[in-house]
Structure 1
Amino acid sequence: MAGVGEAASILTLAIFAFDISKKLYEAVSSFESRRTDILEVQNSLTSLASVLDLVRQQIQDSGDERKYEPLRQPMQCCKSTCEDMQNMLDACTQHTNDVHASVRDWLKMQFHGKSFADMKQRLASYKSTLSIAFASINIQDHRATQESLTEMKGLIKGTKEDLNDQVEKVEEAIHDAAESLQDRLRADSAQLKGALQTLAQAQQVASTTRPQIVVKQNRAGKDSRAIFGTDVLQSPFDLRVSGNVAEERATMAAGVHSSESLQALLRASGKPEVVLVMQTLQGQLRRPDTDMPQDGTSRSELITAKEQHARTI
């Protein structure tokens, strides 16, 4: 497995990267150090191993490795960073059994022009890039909520800023570095820029994906009105309605409704059992797996639902 590289299958790379991150985590944990820097690395490695394990399982279950090719670059970055950190650690421990001295030396060590702090930051940024790329693949297969899209965009923005700072730092270091280190630093810069390209692809997915709400298996009782949708012409979400039942003389409506249509439906009802699930649905984008509240109102609070219950899943 030591020769795993760019030509390896995406599944093989995921397995190898997981094994390396786990091995490094176990080595770092053996120090039993409570130093902040060590704990932060442990947390990053724990998170990275969890993501890589999910990636491995999902690739195996899907049987379609090509779909996960966007993960290759960030996984390769995570793998190489873990390898470098392991090499640094080995260099600090091979001549001594003094744990405290080994940790102290590791934190102070320079490796291929990078410090421990550089490595730690690189690991966190690459792990975040991998998580974002993985989420961008999954968000296209599952119903996205407004909350998940907003969270993804925030993670992209923060990780992009971190990577840009690191690119700038490496580019400055290249000019001052010894000739023997310049090629290595250029390779680091290329990896960082590759991670930024991965983020750009994820940003495109986040920007073009519309959140969805599914309203199904509701029942409009006799002589009642049930209205699902929005009174905003350019709705920020997609509404899917299925399996709903309207009883005798009941009316169900779903979609974008004009003010005139709403007023007509309300006047025609003559009863209080009208469910007007309008702008409330937009709040439901943040809680996609819970039932709608029994009291739902439109933006203009035209009416309060008394008996009907809208279920969203």
Structure 2
Amino acid sequence: MAEALGIASALIAIVTATIQTSQTLYDTIQSFRSHQRSVQQLLDELSALKEVLQSLDTHIQIEDDANLASLKTPLLQCRRACADFDTLMTECTKYSGRPRTSFRGWVKVRYMESDIHGFTSMLAGYKSTIAIALGDANLRSATVTIQLLGEYKDMIHSTTQDLEDHLEDINEKLSRLASNNIPSSPAVTTDIDRIQNERDSTEVCLQICAKVQAHIDTMRLRPIPGSPPSQGMSCRDLGHATVMTLSTLDHCKQMIADNVSELHRHQDENKRRLARGTSEISLPTETDIQSLKKELDSTKECLAICNAASQRAVKGIHVLEDMSTGHDGQQLFVSTLGDLFNVKGASTGDRGIQFVGSVSEEALRIFFQSQTKK
């Protein structure tokens, strides 16, 4: 019990610090008063991230959920990335002598070999991983419909794919930076550490997704007391955190779809410049390398979280196809474990009875007793 409380206290402190850092970055970006689409997308992502973090904070304040301890690395890396980017934006205007509202250098802003779109997508990956882990915690106590469970499974799959793409991108950047043979220096060492941390964190996120999916695969969903056997909980009956999970994951998927073409264009342009050997871009520093390595590790952790989640969305659902009974026939498909049934086609003859659903053992006993009395 003491260990669980220790984990909860440590996680609360990390979540609180991450909320504060993300809010500081939001305020910094907001102070530029930019109407560029990429800047507005970053502000929207920071706002959504803060909302998910607040839901997580509310949950861990009430529940001693040791399963959420795996979020420690992604949360730390998310906080670190927000702090680094806030410092970067402050330095961009510190010596310019011009007000922030006149800043026009968003295209030139670089963080771990990516532009502002890449940073926004990175935050989206952390937000999605946190939401998946939080949704998994809610699924342990909530009853859901097949449709809602399917949507959750699809979102886990989408997040996993995005994290895997992010991991591949980090590895490519590390290979490209290593080929430049940059002399060692304190700045170079810092960059390598930063990149390594991001890689570790991404791997943790992937582990979390895999763990949550495994939970969905083995879970047994309970029917709502007093409701029809086949009825699950509607969206309006779900807790705020569960609804937040689904909505934020969907928002993440839409944002990534909006940004993917621009990210590919930007990456292709960088590859062309490197191939030409021109001076259009400066050589990466050791700080850039360390940042990419940290992002790579962080992405792997996020993918692990998603992979765990994806393994839990299959089991506990029975698919029944082309069910039929003749005249006066009786057919029952019953589970007392809270399993779900997906019926695809059913027919019965005159005076026939078909019953499909999850019921309690007591309700099933009463049903059979009533049949024997007829």
Q: Which has the higher helix share?
A: 2
How many pairs are equivalent? 242
Deviation at 1:264, TM superposition (A): 4.7
CA gap 1:182/1:70 in 2 versus in 1, 3 angstroms: closer
Q: Is the 8 A contact 2:77 2:198 kept in 1?
A: no
Report the RMSD for the aligned CA atoms in angstroms: 3.7
Deviation at 1:91, TM superposition (A): 1.5
Indicate the structure (1 or 2) with the bigger Cα radius of gyration.
1
TM-score (norm 1): 0.65
Residue 263 of structure 1 is matched in structure 2 by 329
Residue 109 of structure 2 is matched in structure 1 by 109
- Deviations along 1:58-82, one digit per CA (max 9) or x if unpaired, are 21122x2534313323322321221
Residue 18 of structure 1 is matched in structure 2 by 19
Deviation at 1:54, TM superposition (A): 1.2
Residue 51 of structure 1 is matched in structure 2 by 52
Deviation at 1:204, TM superposition (A): 1.1
CA gap 1:258/1:83 in 2 versus in 1, 3 angstroms: same
Residue 143 of structure 1 is matched in structure 2 by 143
Alignment partners' CA distance in 2, 1:92 and 1:86: 10
Q: Is the 8 A contact 1:74 1:198 kept in 2?
A: no
Q: Is the 8 A contact 2:136 2:212 kept in 1?
A: yes
Alignment partners' CA distance in 2, 1:189 and 1:235: 34
Mapping of residues 1-313 of structure 1, within 5 Å: 9-62=10-63, 64=64, 66-95=66-95, 96-102=97-103, 104-177=104-177, 178=182, 180=188, 181-214=191-224, 216=226, 236=317, 259=325, 263-264=329-330, 299-300=346-347
Alignment partners' CA distance in 1, 2:316 and 2:349: 19
CA gap 1:215/1:86 in 2 versus in 1, 3 angstroms: same
Q: Is the 8 A contact 1:11 1:60 kept in 2?
A: yes
Residue 294 of structure 2 is matched in structure 1 by none
SS at 1:82 equivalent: helix
Alignment partners' CA distance in 2, 1:117 and 1:303: 63
Alignment partners' CA distance in 1, 2:93 and 2:8: 33
CA gap 1:19/1:197 in 2 versus in 1, 3 angstroms: same
Ranges in structure 1 where 5+ consecutive residues have no aligned partner:
1-5, 219-227, 238-256, 266-280, 285-297, 305-311
Ranges in structure 2 where 5+ consecutive residues have no aligned partner:
1-6, 232-314, 332-339, 352-358, 360-374
SS at 2:125 equivalent: helix
Q: Equivalent pairs: percent with the same residue?
A: 23
Deviation at 1:36, TM superposition (A): 1.3
Deviation at 1:117, TM superposition (A): 2.5
